[in-house]
Copies of this chain bind each other. A is one copy, B any other.
Amino acid sequence: MSSLGNPANIFWQECSVGKSDRQKLLNQKGCVVWITGLSGSGKSTLACTLDRELHSRGKLSYILDGDNLRHGLNKDLSFKAEDRVENIRRVGEVAKLFADAGLICIASLISPYGKDRDSCRALLPNKNFIEVYMNMPLEVCEARDPKGLYKLARAGKIKGFTGIDDPYEPPLNCEIEIKQENGICPPPSAMAGQVVSYLNVQGFLHE
């Protein structure tokens, strides 16, 4: 075996421009907003609205969308259990790089298992991982079915679909919960506003 594979032979390259320098340049703090929830719960809608709202405030954000990454970085991965874990691990690692670059990284993935989300949280410095739980009833998500996937899952044409024949584990300690009020889903601007308020109060919107 090559001893190059020995971690002792992989060096860590330190650089003189650090996260704090980039944060000063951008006048913001790098972090990860991790949006989790069922298919159809509004993750992408929130991600896009939040991205637009932050941009309008002169903040630099970037969306890592679970589906989009499956066309690129994660195109070698299937939907079997271990590949789903690896899919989330890679998104977590890339989100960490974006946060280190000083961006507000918005990750939007079903990410149904608490364990996988917690592994991504553990990659980030304390408080820099902001978990947003799209707490929408399954019936609402299924009625929306924007991609027609619930229909396929109910017809047995998709196996292991989250919420149908695979579990979704709600976050136990998320930073932000988006839910219905009196049976009504908040509009996208209200959902994004909830996240922006949190980011503002926590000091992420200035250096």
Residues of A within 8 A of B (CB): 2-5, 7, 9-13, 15-17, 21-22, 25-26, 44, 47-48, 51-52, 55, 58, 60-65, 67-68, 70-73, 76, 78-80, 86, 90, 93-94, 96-98, 100-103, 108, 123, 147, 149, 152, 157-161
Contact = CB atoms under 8 A, between A and B. Distances in A.
Contacts of A101: 60, 62, 98, 101, 103
A51 to B, nearest CB: 5
Given A22-B55, A73-B94, 19 more contacts: A2-B80, A4-B149, A5-B78, A5-B79, A9-B152, A10-B71, A13-B44, A13-B47, A13-B48, A13-B63, A13-B67, A15-B63, A22-B62, A26-B60, A62-B100, A73-B90, A90-B90, A94-B97, A101-B103
Contact of A51 (B15, B67, B76, B102): B15
Contacts of A160: 2, 4
A22 B26 CA distance: 12
Residue with the highest number of chain B CB atoms closer than 10 Å, among A86, A90, A97:
A97
A136 B79 CA distance: 45
Contact of A4 (B12, B58, B79): B79
24 contacts: A2-B159, A2-B160, A3-B152, A4-B158, A4-B160, A10-B71, A12-B67, A12-B68, A13-B63, A13-B65, A13-B108, A15-B52, A16-B51, A17-B51, A22-B55, A22-B60, A25-B58, A62-B100, A72-B96, A72-B97, A73-B94, A73-B97, A76-B86, A94-B94
A86 to B, nearest CB: 8
A160 B60 CA distance: 42
A144 to B, nearest CB: 14
Contact of A55 (B4, B5, B7, B21): B21
B11 A147 contact: yes
